[in-house]
Structure 1
Amino acid sequence: MNKRALVTGGSGGIGRAICQRLAADGYDMLVHANRHLDTAAAVAAEICSAGGKATAIAFDITDAAATSTALDAILAAGPLQVLVNNAGVHDDAVFPGMTALQWQRVIDVNLNGFFNVTQPLTLPMIRSRWGRIINISSVAALAGNRGQVNYAAAKGALHSATKALALELASRGITVNAVAPGLIDTAMSDGVFDKEAIARLVPMKRAGRPQEVADLVGFLASEQAGYITGQVISINGGMI
């Protein structure tokens, strides 16, 4: 049976790079999107045209029932070997002006979405006694960021969940780690920081590339990273 990997939010800049890297490493990819199935399908088509295997899927990770139904269909073909929890949103506002909806939406996608996707996949992984769970976080959870109290709270909780779940699964051959990117050059970050701001914030004087994040994820998903678990690894050009 071929190794399979699911990347949530696989149609975005970092997600796309992760999907391509894992496909190059020999995984059959499940490229997830929420609403934009066509974008995920385009990523899957790129992978297939390069000689890999990929399928696009769409479901709302904040909808527990819909997520469960989608994962049941995936698990019918056997356990997943790699899960990358990459889907996330931010909805920024200074805290005194933050609405309850802004708080709840960011927590719902970034934290509840992690639970809805990961929990159903763990027992099949345990039974196979091998697995990799990699949670994509943010430097905002490590250093804080003005206007992102909701986002930092969600990703900070994800760090704690990573460490606790790693302890539960360590004896079963399953590693659980978090990757916390800094400023990465994607469509989501385009126009947010100009070159002067990047030079001021990042000692390396440049934004990171999605492929650099993907390479770290690829390593953590590999056999070589079998003794690394419960870690939050930041990739941020020396910001902190």
Structure 2
Amino acid sequence: MELGFAGKVALVTGAGSGIGAAVSRQLGAEGARVVVADINADAARAVAAEICSSGGNAFSLAVDVARAAEVEKLVESVVQTHGGLHLAVNNAGIDGVRRGTADYPVDDWDKLISVNLNGVFYCMKYEIAAMAAQGGGSIVNMSSILGSVGLPTASAYTAAKHGIVGLTKVAAIEYAKRGVRINAVGPGLIETPLLSEQSELASNRRLEALQPMGRRGTPQEVAALVCFLLSEQASFISGSYHLVDGAYTAH
């Protein structure tokens, strides 16, 4: 399937590893000029270098998506340097502590929401403005299966991921007539560094046993859907939320 990314400028946040890195690699392989953004500048630089070494076109930038001014500067830099912004994947996120809702530390709640929810809002705010000004574009926001179901002891993460789905739907309606398509993707149990950091989950074989496919997904499997949604092959898809979870939430 031809995705038609040649000549397109793409921005991916949280692109230094995991799903963000996989999306960046596929976008580069499909001909997009990829801006690999991550709070870890070295990780972003390494992914961009890998894409370039494979014949792609990529650049790296450091950004803390929890800071609106940094996100605004990032988008402005992309537009000024590369002549526009056509595709964006708002993927940056962190995990949180595991506590019951009544015991969840306020500081930890604020930190997670600032990255996982506020960060997506900041990115959308400036990306949409840039895309609408040039006649359109496509955005994919990274939610989770926890955008539709709950997980005990993960109130902040679940609230943020539900919030991303809501933001996606509202913005998609608002900017449909201006040519900006906005969708959300909800990965399930995916083999990423973030999952590995969640020792409670990573070591819990019971969760894997609940997977109808009997395995975790791969970042590449999520990237395939993300890139399809970004492409003109999905030209009539907007405001939707797509799960990549091996039928986990179908229980």
Structure 1 position 90, deviation (Å): 1.7
Question: Aligned partners of 1:14, 1:163: CA distance in 2, in Å?
Answer: 22
* Structure 2 gap segments, 5+ residues each: 1-5
Q: CA RMSD in A?
A: 1.5
* Alignment match of 2:150 (pick from 144, 149, 152): 144
- Label 1:154 to 1:52 Cα distance change in 2 as closer, same or farther (>3 A): same
SS at 2:247 equivalent: coil
1:86 has 2:91 as partner: yes
TM-score by length of 1: 0.95
Query: How many pairs were matched up?
Result: 239
Question: Aligned partners of 1:195, 1:228: CA distance in 2, in Å?
Answer: 36
SS at 1:188 equivalent: helix
Structure 1 position 172, deviation (Å): 2.0
Aligned residue number for residue 221 of structure 2:
212
1:13 has 2:18 as partner: yes
Matches within 5 A, 1:65-80: 65-77=69-81, 78-80=83-85
SS at 1:44 equivalent: helix
Aligned residue number for residue 202 of structure 1:
211
Question: Aligned partners of 1:128, 1:66: CA distance in 2, in Å?
Answer: 22
Aligned residue number for residue 234 of structure 1:
243
Aligned residue number for residue 57 of structure 1:
61
Identity among equivalent pairs (%): 39
Structure 1 position 118, deviation (Å): 1.8
1:35-89 C-alpha deviation (Å, 9 max, x unpaired)? x211111100110000000011002111122222232222213320011000011
Aligned residue number for residue 48 of structure 2:
44
Matches within 5 A, 1:145-184: 145-184=151-190
Q: Is the 8 A contact 1:198 1:207 kept in 2?
A: no
Structure 1 position 117, deviation (Å): 1.7
Structure 1 position 194, deviation (Å): 4.3
1:33 has 2:42 as partner: no
Question: Aligned partners of 1:90, 1:224: CA distance in 2, in Å?
Answer: 33
Opposite residue 41 of structure 1, the aligned amino acid is R
TM-score by length of 2: 0.91
Question: Aligned partners of 1:178, 1:166: CA distance in 2, in Å?
Answer: 10
Question: Aligned partners of 2:33, 2:92: CA distance in 1, in Å?
Answer: 19
Structure 1 position 114, deviation (Å): 1.2
